[in-house]
Amino acid sequence: MRTTETAIDAGAGAAPSAERRPHIVIVGAGFGGLSAAKGLAGVAADVTLIDRKNHHLFQPLLYQVATAGLAPNQIATPVRTIVRHQANTRAILAEVGGVDLARKLIVTGGRRTPFDILVLATGATHAYFGHDEWAAHAPGLKSLEDAVELRRRVLTAFEAAETACDPAERRRLLTFAVIGAGPTGVEMAGAIAELAHRALTRDFRAVRDAKARVLLIEAGERVLPTFRPDLSAYAARALAKLGVELKLGSAVSAMDDQGLMAGAERIEAATVIWAAGVRASSAARWLGIEPDRAGRVTVQPDLSIAGAPDVFVIGDTASVVGADGRPVPGVAPAAKQQGEYVARLIKARLAGRAGPGPFRYSDFGSLATVGRRAAVVQLGRFQLRGTLAWLFWCVAHIYFLVGFRNRIQVGLDWLWSYLTFERGARLITGEDQAARALNSHIAGTCDCPSL
Amino acid sequence: MRTTETAIDAGAGAAPSAERRPHIVIVGAGFGGLSAAKGLAGVAADVTLIDRKNHHLFQPLLYQVATAGLAPNQIATPVRTIVRHQANTRAILAEVGGVDLARKLIVTGGRRTPFDILVLATGATHAYFGHDEWAAHAPGLKSLEDAVELRRRVLTAFEAAETACDPAERRRLLTFAVIGAGPTGVEMAGAIAELAHRALTRDFRAVRDAKARVLLIEAGERVLPTFRPDLSAYAARALAKLGVELKLGSAVSAMDDQGLMAGAERIEAATVIWAAGVRASSAARWLGIEPDRAGRVTVQPDLSIAGAPDVFVIGDTASVVGADGRPVPGVAPAAKQQGEYVARLIKARLAGRAGPGPFRYSDFGSLATVGRRAAVVQLGRFQLRGTLAWLFWCVAHIYFLVGFRNRIQVGLDWLWSYLTFERGARLITGEDQAARALNSHIAGTCDCPSL
């Protein structure tokens, strides 16, 4: 039993030297946490990477899982596999419940684990601006479970439209409303429009005849507001070409299970998708710190929290002003850079060297795709749109995807979808909810004698 | 609206001729229902194929989804896509609730649809021999949801073992019991053993050190009882070589959430999988017919039910004695042949020709795989085992898989797994249950200070 116990015990027990190796705990295996863990490879410390999922998720492609283009496993990789070759690092599947800052303990389930250095990289979740009751009507898109649930709703709406006899109900079933016109909202609206107007028309008669309606609802005055105005205008035109109806300057004020109010207009829609806002994770509450308006922890220039130089918060759950005086945006490249920065700082500190200066965010640019051969790319002063931007977007996403196998598979799937207009993961799954939901649609619509 | 209504209305409305075309309803898009629908392509009738899932599932490979080798979408194809090119056929996602035999109506949700000819191909589900309470402890393997749930349980057990400190609890977490040594049980046990002893050892320290235990429990005296005794003996040796412990002549008499009783032995096991028995679907109840012991509808030699020559029952939910006087087994080839037979019979009847004679089952043989380069094949007097049988098994399964894309993907995945020993779909998903289940494991085991 002795060997087994030692193997399990990554903390003090596993250290061969008499001196105890410091224990670095990283919570969250997203872009931030993973890059911190990778940056700590080979450091004379025990690194524990905790996540409540067993996989790192490539969130930028989550909308393709929600619209049946990719399968869940193609954009996720087990965290264990990623850190397999780092002898000083172990991955743990557990949900963190809190932090005891005074005693330097992290709480998971009924267990308290001591840490010397803590990196919180717990990300963000959807925020409904004080309307948490909207969550049931308009799910967001953060996890694989979210994506599979959205896929179920989208595909079930098409199925139900096929057997609805009341024309108004059929129109409602074929109306898809995406709220929020940032990159995720634009990508979702474009992908649903391609699904409705291209991929599914061969299989669904009602879709072919009645035409689906895809709405993109945005409170602001333009789509992709973080991009340059001419790229926003291009994206709006590309969306219109795909058949997406844009509702700009329309704030959503009410929602129920039949539809929503956008500005002064009532829209009957069976499927509503939330892409309008996020709120940081519970890290601030764990640390007993007053969060900012977005729920984030405001950190020092070195990403540690005030009064606790060994506790770092990075990524979407941190609020920091970069060395250039501008707030660092909540995007994947920023989280990655923060992870790398914290790893460098910890390494220097453990080696007794002077650490790097304050965190500095390098903005390499932004990409967003609308659909087939339509994307926008903004890299510094350089910008691209159309087919070339779309190819650049495809190559960049395959490049940043984790895992050789996933890259090959996603590449082949995209090629196949491009050539055939098909979608490769058109599955409705989830405990027979699908058919039940559908039967209730059918029951609710009419007593027409034929299916 | 008129065109749309007509398109929706597949029954009377869509018929161009003055005479009403007969309406054939097929319930179930498994092997039986799908082959019946395909056989009716081009017939002067309206065919409606109803399933409560939107996909046809290739059940023979379901165990590979449960053991993280394949992704769900690789063994499923939308029913609509399969029948897309059959102008007289439409696919409907709905759950059938009953049949009104007297008035020839099929009930889905709140709707009643008239049929002229009905084919019930609704398959089978797990049977716990009067112990329905075992379902929660030992899930079976019939749907994609079942497979994803089993995958969650198997992978979560490995994760929990990694952080368990109590050696007895760790052993329990690393003990997997498969009940029933038919093809599904043998394939599951072999696949879990390969996962535990090969694929996961690089990623899980506890698995490497403590060794997982995989048990195959069978009440009968040999594995694969429908195969020839020497092939059973080969399969038993191949399982033993993979590290599977065989418990033959051991009936399971009790089960709880910690383990089970097999014969007189108590086995502590965190993961128990049911592969011991099936019971037919509710078709007999819908028809008001007394089912046989396995819940099946006993049908006439032409697969229709007594007194209703327009109502057929085929596949796992039918009990029929073949023209050779032997009962037709509940296997995929039999269901396919029955579907083809019924289609031929209906075609002949609609054309006013004499139909085929009584149904005759052609037994082309059976295959089962144990693992890497180990399978058994029995085709008439011809038999194979080992590498050649395994290659034959791989080729046959890819050949029978529906969809060009799935064939390519599964072929590539198998090649990749064969070369690398990796598994491509190691995802734990499902509403954060994973981490919660794990926390309860952790909390239950001990207060050891380190994770």
d(CA B229, CA B221): 11
| Rounded Cα distance, A255 and B220, in Å | 59
In 3D, which of B390, B250, B426, B115 has the Cα closest to residue A84?
A: B426
- Among B74, B67, B77, B78, which residue's Cα sits nearest to residue B148? B67
Site from B62, B95, B111 to mutate, A interface, most A CB atoms within 10 angstroms: B111
Prediction pTM value: 0.91
Instruction: Tell me which of A20 and B75 has the higher pLDDT.
Output: B75
Q: What is the pLDDT of residues B152-200, one digit of tens each?
A: 999 999 999 998 888 999 999 999 999 999 999 999 999 999 999 988 9
Contacts of residue B230, defined as CB under 8 A and 6 or more positions apart, other chains included, come to none
CA pair distance A79, A87, nearest whole angstrom: 14
**pLDDT value of residue B438:** 56
A187 catalytic residue (yes or no) = yes
pLDDT by residue (tens digit) across A388-398? 999 999 999 99
Q: Virtual CA dihedral for B328, B334, B339, B340, nearest 10 degrees? A: -110
Identify the CA nearest to B338 among candidates B31, B124, B132, B54: B31
User: Tokens for A299?
Assistant: 């950190």
Q: Closest Cα of chain B to A99: distance in Å?
A: 14
Kindly state whether B405 is in contact with chain A, defined as any CB-CB distance less than 8 angstroms.
Answer: yes
Question: Is pLDDT above 50 for B448?
Answer: no
Q: Answer whether B51's CB lies under 8 Å from B28's CB.
A: yes
pLDDT band at B277 (very low <50, low <70, confident <90, very high): confident
Measured distance CA(B420)–CA(B443) in Å, rounded: 36
Q: How far is A363 from chain B (nearest CA, A)?
A: 33
* Active-site pick, A159, A169, A187, A218: A187
Distance, in Å, from the CA atom of B345 to the CA atom of B300, rounded to the nearest integer, reads 13
Residues 263-292 of A with CB under 8 A from B: none
**What per-residue confidence (pLDDT) applies to A432?**
52
Q: Which of B162, B432, B448 sits opposite A52 (nearest CB)?
A: B432
What's the CA gap between A344 and A40, in Å, rounded?
8
Catalytic residues of B: 187
Q: Is the pLDDT of residue B399 over 50?
A: yes
| Paired strand residues for A108 | A96, A111
Q: What is the pLDDT of residue A437?
A: 55
Q: What are phi and psi of B235, to 5 degrees?
A: -60, -40
Look up the CATH number of domain A132-276+372-445.
3.50.50.100
A244: left (phi over 0), alpha (psi -120 to 50) or beta: beta
Alpha-carbon gap, residue B48 to B27, rounded angstroms: 8
User: What is the mean pLDDT of the segment spanning A364-385?
Assistant: 94
* Domain A2-52+94-126+279-350 shares a fold with domain A132-276+372-445: yes
Residues 233-262 of A with CB under 8 A from B: none
- Give the separation between CA A409 and CA A365, rounded to whole angstroms: 26
Sign of CA dihedral B21, B22, B28, B29: negative
Distance spanning both ends of chain A, measured CA to CA? 64
CATH number given to B132-276+372-444: 3.50.50.100
Q: Is B48 on the interface with A (CB under 8 A)?
A: yes
CB contact under 8 A, B431 and A163: no
- Which residue of chain B comes nearest to A166, CA vs CA? B5
**Are B99 and B106 within 8 A, CB to CB?**
yes
Q: How confident is the model at residue B196, as a pLDDT?
A: 93
Q: For B127-142, what is the mean pLDDT?
A: 94
Fold of A2-52+94-126+279-350: FAD/NAD(P)-binding domain (3.50.50)
Query: Can you name the CATH fold of B2-52+94-126+279-351?
Result: FAD/NAD(P)-binding domain (3.50.50)
Q: State mean pLDDT over A76-95.
A: 94
- CA-CA distance, B231 to A147, in Å (whole number)? 45
- For the segment B228-239, the average pLDDT, to the nearest whole number, is 97
Q: Parse chain A into domains and list their residue ranges.
A: 2-52+94-126+279-350, 132-276+372-445
Gyration radius of chain B over CA positions: 24
Statement: residue A366 has pLDDT above 80: yes
Q: What is the pLDDT of residue A11?
A: 40
